[in-house]
């Protein structure tokens, strides 16, 4: 929860709600925390701070101990979380005001994947004193492909909901949830709406329903109220390459949703929701004690304040943490403890753990071959060993080390990508494929990388390559002049992209003989590869 916050801190008997309250350019006076007030409104009682959360912390501690006793390989698992975004709109055209575009939704999901995996571009801004404790949670948020009836979603990850209401209070959103929520044991539900009273957003803590001695509150701890709610002007990022959207200036990097989903995964604010007592913390030893929420800190983010300097050995306030109220530009890390805490929750908490169950196995042996004749890239892979796979999701990164983005969903094990740029200049693409069941996603396959070539026919002509005879029955010969390199790699593929043979042309000043007699009659692709150029030519075996 961020800035002008109000929330419910309840576990089991009281579900916690985190309210994010924004501030405009003419900032209002900061409001006090309204925990007791909101609890009293919902239950008619006031529960002292920490009464129920301490039992959750003990439950979490037990789960972390159990996890530590299991095999280490579990720590290497990437948890896939299907996301459904309910866009509460007034009937505007898609992309206008509350009826936000799919691109804005996907920019937010991309931002979360970068933030939760320590892939965000501003990691260099993490102060040196905190770099050793910066952690990655290994979560991958994916737009859901199938709805609750197992039908393919027209806009992956999006459910548009029309309402004549233009403005939404917390209570009104909660009343809407039962009618719109998708099974929270399968999806992370996020509602995006025009929130009232300067609210930026709020989220619901995981419920520790199996904590000894506690029974969930049947009124509030149900499958009808769970997920996160974000104001539409604070949902999305202008820094993921997906577009530029009409977002609040101080919250335009998607960190509002990163923050709220952190709550959904069991994280507390770094100050432990008590701005007066340095002994109250967030149960993570690698976040320094603080009584400051870092609200309003932005600009160059220069702040070395230590609000708990009386604590021996305490470091400056970690305003760069996603669980503070600092502006988006200042946030850039979760800690190792926070990452471990979230992974423990997703593997243990009611409803959260169901999301990651029945994950299919990854597809195998992905290959990618550039075909100059059609300026496309042919992808082939071996099917996932799992029997619950419904389709395959193809992802592509358009630069070395770039962000993977979805390009297609197919049912087979081959795909021709004809959406690449024309081959006027060399460009490297990286692909991976994910198996999809109706409930979840697999780990990605191996990555396949391919580089398109510069003006294939001109390069061939300029270097005077010759292939003869063609067609041929037994041997073909290659010759060239002025190629500019001493050694070339020669590969032969069938039309399905399968590699059949490879050899080196070690001296391009001499002709190269290649035997093709063992190949069946038909059409093949001969690929000539230098360190940074590639040529392809058809050959015929008769």
Structure tokens at 29: 């006076």
DSSP secondary structure code for residue 329 in this structure: G
The gap from C-alpha 396 to its chain's centroid, in whole angstroms, comes to 14
DSSP secondary structure code for residue 507 in this structure: -
Assess whether 260 carries a catalytic annotation.
yes
Asked if residues 384 and 449 have their Cβ atoms less than 8 Å apart, the reply is no
DSSP secondary structure code for residue 124 in this structure: G
Per-residue exposure over 317-355, b if at least 16 CB sit within 10 Å of its own CB, e if not = bbbbbbbbbbbbbbbbbbbbbbbbbbbbbbbbbbbbeeb
Strand order in the sheet with 512-515: 466-468, 475-479, 512-515
* Residue tagged active-site, from 260, 340, 395, 462: 260
Question: Strands 488-493 and 499-505: what pairing?
Answer: antiparallel
Cis peptide before 469 (omega within 30 of 0): yes
How many CB atoms are located within 10 Å of the residue 249 CB?
12
The gap from C-alpha 144 to its chain's centroid, in whole angstroms, comes to 12
- Residue 161 and residue 421: Cα distance in Å, rounded? 36
DSSP secondary structure code for residue 260 in this structure: H
Work out the angle between the directed axes of helices 255-264 and 102-116 (0-180°, nearest 10).
Answer: 60
Contacts (Cβ under 8 Å, ≥6 apart) of 20:
1, 2, 3, 4, 5, 199, 200, 201, 202, 230, 231, 234, 256, 259, 260
Structure tokens at 217: 């509150």
What's the Cα-to-Cα distance from 2 to each of 49, 219, 301, 490, rounded to whole Å?
Answer: 19, 26, 17, 58
Tell me the catalytic residues: 260
């Amino acid at each position: 929860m961020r800035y002008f916050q109000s929330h419910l801190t309840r576990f089991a008997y009281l579900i916690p709600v985190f309210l994010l309250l924004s501030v405009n350019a003419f900032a209002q006076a900061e409001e006090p925390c309204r925990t007791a007030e909101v609890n009293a409104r919902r239950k008619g009682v006031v529960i002292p701070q920490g009464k129920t959360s301490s039992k959750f912390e003990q439950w979490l501690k037990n789960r972390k101990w159990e996890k530590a006793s299991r095999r280490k390989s579990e720590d290497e698992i990437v948890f896939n979380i299907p996301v459904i975004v309910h866009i509460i709109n007034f009937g505007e055209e898609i992309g206008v005001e509350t009826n936000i575009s799919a691109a804005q939704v996907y920019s937010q999901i991309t931002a979360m994947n970068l933030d939760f995996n320590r892939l965000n571009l501003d990691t260099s801004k993490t102060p040196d004193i905190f770099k050793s404790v910066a952690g990655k949670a290994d979560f991958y948020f994916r737009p859901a492909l199938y709805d609750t009836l197992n039908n393919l979603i027209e806009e992956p990850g999006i459910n548009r909901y029309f309402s004549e209401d233009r403005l939404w209070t917390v209570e009104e959103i909660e009343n809407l949830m039962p009618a719109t929520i998708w099974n929270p044991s399968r999806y992370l539900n996020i509602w995006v709406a025009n929130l009232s009273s300067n609210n930026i957003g709020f989220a619901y803590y995981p419920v520790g329903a199996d904590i000894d001695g506690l029974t969930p509150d049947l009124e509030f701890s149900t499958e009808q109220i769970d997920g996160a709610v974000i104001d539409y002007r604070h949902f999305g990022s202008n820094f993921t390459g997906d577009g530029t959207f009409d977002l609040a200036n101080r919250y335009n990097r998607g960190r509002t949703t990163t923050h709220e989903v952190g709550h959904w995964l069991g994280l507390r604010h770094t100050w432990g929701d008590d701005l007066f007592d340095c002994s109250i913390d967030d149960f993570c030893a690698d976040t320094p004690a603080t009584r400051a929420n870092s609200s309003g800190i932005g600009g160059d983010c220069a702040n070395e304040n230590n609000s708990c300097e009386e604590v021996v050995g305490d470091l400056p306030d970690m305003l760069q943490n996603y669980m503070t109220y600092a502006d988006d530009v200042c946030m850039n890390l979760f800690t190792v403890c926070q990452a471990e805490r979230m992974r423990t929750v997703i593997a243990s908490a009611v409803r959260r753990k169901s999301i990651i169950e029945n994950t299919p196995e990854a597809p195998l042996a992905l290959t990618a071959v550039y075909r100059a004749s059609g300026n496309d890239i042919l992808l082939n892979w071996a099917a996932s060993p799992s029997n619950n796979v419904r389709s395959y999701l193809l992802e592509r990164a358009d630069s070395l080390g770039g962000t993977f983005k979805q390009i297609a969903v197919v049912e087979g094990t081959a795909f021709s990508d004809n959406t690449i740029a024309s081959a006027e200049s060399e460009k490297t693409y990286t692909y991976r494929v994910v198996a999809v069941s109706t409930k979840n996603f697999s780990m990605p396959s191996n990555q396949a990388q391919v580089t398109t070539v510069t003006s294939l026919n001109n390069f061939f002509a300029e270097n005077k390559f010759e292939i003869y005879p063609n067609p041929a029955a037994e041997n073909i010969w290659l010759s060239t002049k002025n190629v500019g390199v001493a050694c070339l790699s020669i590969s032969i593929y069938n039309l399905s992209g399968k590699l059949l043979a490879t050899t080196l042309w070690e001296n391009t000043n001499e002709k190269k003989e290649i035997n093709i007699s063992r190949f069946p009659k038909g059409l093949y692709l001969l690929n000539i590869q230098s360190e940074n150029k590639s040529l392809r030519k058809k050959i015929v075996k008769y």
